Amino acid sequence: MDRNSAGAVAVALAAALTMTVGGAAAADDAKYPNWKGQWVPVHAPGAAAQSFDPTKPGGPGQQAPLTPEYQKILEDSMAVQANGGLGNDPTAQCYAAGMPRMMAYQAQEYVVTPEVTYILLGGDDNLRRIFTDGRDWPEKINPTYQGYSIGHWVDTNGSGTYDVLEAETRGPFKGPRAYDPTGLPLHFDNQSAFKERFFIDKADPNLLHDVITVFDHALARPWTVDKTFRRNADAQPDWPESYCHVTNDRIVLGNETYRLNEEGILTPTRKDEPPPDLRYFKPAPK
Amino acid sequence: MLNRSSTVAAAALACALTTIMLMAIGSVRAADGGKYPTNWKGQWTRVVHREVEVQGAFDQTKPWGLGQDAPLTPEYRKVLADSMADQATGGLGNYPTSRCLPSGMPRIMTFGTQEYVITPETTYILLSGSDHLRRIFTDGRDWPKNPQPTYGGYSIGRWIDADGDGRYGVLESETRYFKGPRAFDASGLPLAFDNQSVFKERFFIDKTNPDIIHDLTTVIDHALTRPWTSDRQYRRVSEQVVQWPETWCQEGNQNVLIGKENYLLRTDGLLMPAKKNQAPPDLRYFRQRQQ
């Protein structure tokens, strides 16, 4: 081999070496998208803070395609709430929100690994795991409020980087669950299924979409909503810690809801509400 | 054009460079993927010492409450004694978790299952109890100027290559800025009510058993006469987890705190005393008094 030839081979191989090393590192780092940071739910003006469809007001304003039976449950829930009760809102008693309401809480973080995408939430429902390791649905799933999620990454534009996470979440769920604080109900059979498509907005790298379709027997047809989340510009934000029991002042005894005042004394939540039944207490000495 | 000898020489050079290239790729991958420990995956639960009568204490090798031999100040020793006396008569004592309030540090590390998710910037400890999760920031940040106090505290850590093998094996962290009240265990063994605790932890895999992780925790707290250190250990249950548990304190919680009194809620929704001869709740705000 003459000097020139050897030099050419060496240069070519060195170039290949450099490209391949770079490629290997790039493939590892860039195969999955950069969804780092804190994401805060976006709500249209006038929309309720924890509504499922963030572009519309809560309750009837959501225009959920409820069956007549579940439309009545919503109406009854709101009537009870108007009278001081909790209605069909189990979260008001510090029960889990579950899917899909857990995706309405104040701050989210997406931790993407090849096997699992973790969605860390700032509410009492504190995290979701979306398994992306190619697993099949397990034969037996224990009921949970959040369900069991399997997903897969998609490179929609052939760029070599995944840009869409598609996920399906199945039950059996625990319940009852409501979409929002009005008590907008999911079916009490807890057989919901959710299909989601997570992706960054094409025009805004700081806007994340979670397009959710709900399949539920309380609905006359599948209900699809585009929930969006904005990335906090602060790279080191406070991560809120929210515990329902720390601030909850409501107590449910039997079918009645009471409230604790600042002194810790029980008070009614509606006019002429009967006091709790204290038959198990000895009468006070006269 | 290359002649035969040149071709052979070129092939040899190509082989050599290919070998170098593969080694280099390997080292790049090792540096990227192997810098952080990869053997912390899976589901971990606290090690159970069968000889200990009551589990779930800060020092896993000793019974809870007085059996912990915590170096409490006399003031906080009395808080513990009062808590256990109240519990003996049906009260909740100094144990906020029984009211479904968060446990916070360090009891947060006692419950259910754990998962460690390691990224260069943050190590997440995902917990399956009612306490949420921990973030240990390893991105080199300094303490924040005005942190919001939380039950879990604010944790900053750093990775250490303790044995010089090119891989991190130890995570050291410090945790500050708390809410309270918090207790070490269900007896009400107290942390100081000033919530000024500081925790120093050292996480590492056991040298002889890759399925044991240590969390060597030192508590610095004004309820203690000196720092208190315990080697808390967790055993790997499974590397491939089919389903993670979901725990909700509210499910099955019978305790109802009204004022300073704890009552019990029956399955029929009626309130009942938790203590003998316990006074009923004050109903002064109800027009229709119980007859």
Q: How far is CA A259 from the centre of its chain?
A: 28
Q: Is A80 exposed, middle or buried (0-12, 13-18, 19+ CB in 10 A)?
A: middle
The residues facing A153 across adjacent strands are A165
How confident is residue A197, by pLDDT bands cut at 50, 70 and 90?
A: very high
Inter-chain touch B249–A25, beta carbons under 8 Å: no
The residues facing B175 across adjacent strands are B155, B199
**Residue A22 in this model has a pLDDT that exceeds 50:** no
**Residue A11 in this model has a pLDDT that exceeds 50:** no
Q: Residue A173: name the closest of A187, A161, A153, A159 by CA.
A: A187
Predicted model pTM: 0.85
Amino acid B288: pLDDT = 66
- Is A217 or B17 the better-scoring residue by pLDDT? A217
Query: Do residues A259 and A250 lie in contact, with contact meaning Cβ atoms separated by under 8 Å?
Result: yes
Please state the ipTM of this predicted complex: 0.84
B23 touches chain A (CB under 8 A): no
Position of tokens 């899917």? A99
CA within 13 Å, CB half, B113: 15
Q: How far is Cα A120 from Cα A103, in angstroms, rounded to an integer? A: 10
How confident is residue B250, by pLDDT bands cut at 50, 70 and 90?
A: confident
Query: Do residues A61 and A220 lie in contact, with contact meaning Cβ atoms separated by under 8 Å?
Result: no
Q: How far is CA A98 from the centre of its chain?
A: 7
Position of tokens 């204490």? B57
- Is A228 or B131 the better-scoring residue by pLDDT? A228
Amino acid B130: pLDDT = 75
A114-152 confidence digits (pLDDT tens)? 999 999 997 788 899 999 999 999 999 999 999 999 999
Amino acid A19: pLDDT = 35
Inter-chain touch A253–B249, beta carbons under 8 Å: no
B144-195 confidence digits (pLDDT tens)? 998 999 999 999 999 999 999 999 999 999 999 999 999 999 999 999 999 9
B11-25, B165-179, B230-244, range with greatest mean pLDDT: B165-179
B 121-160 residues inside an 8 A Cβ radius of A = 121, 124, 126, 130, 132-133, 135, 137, 141, 144, 147-148, 150-152
Q: What token pair was written down for A270?
A: 């509606």
Helix (H) or strand (E) holding B38: none
Amino acid A120: pLDDT = 95
How confident is residue B131, by pLDDT bands cut at 50, 70 and 90?
A: confident
Average pLDDT over all residues of chain B: 86
Amino acid A274: pLDDT = 93
Of A13, A16, A126, the CB nearest to B133: A126
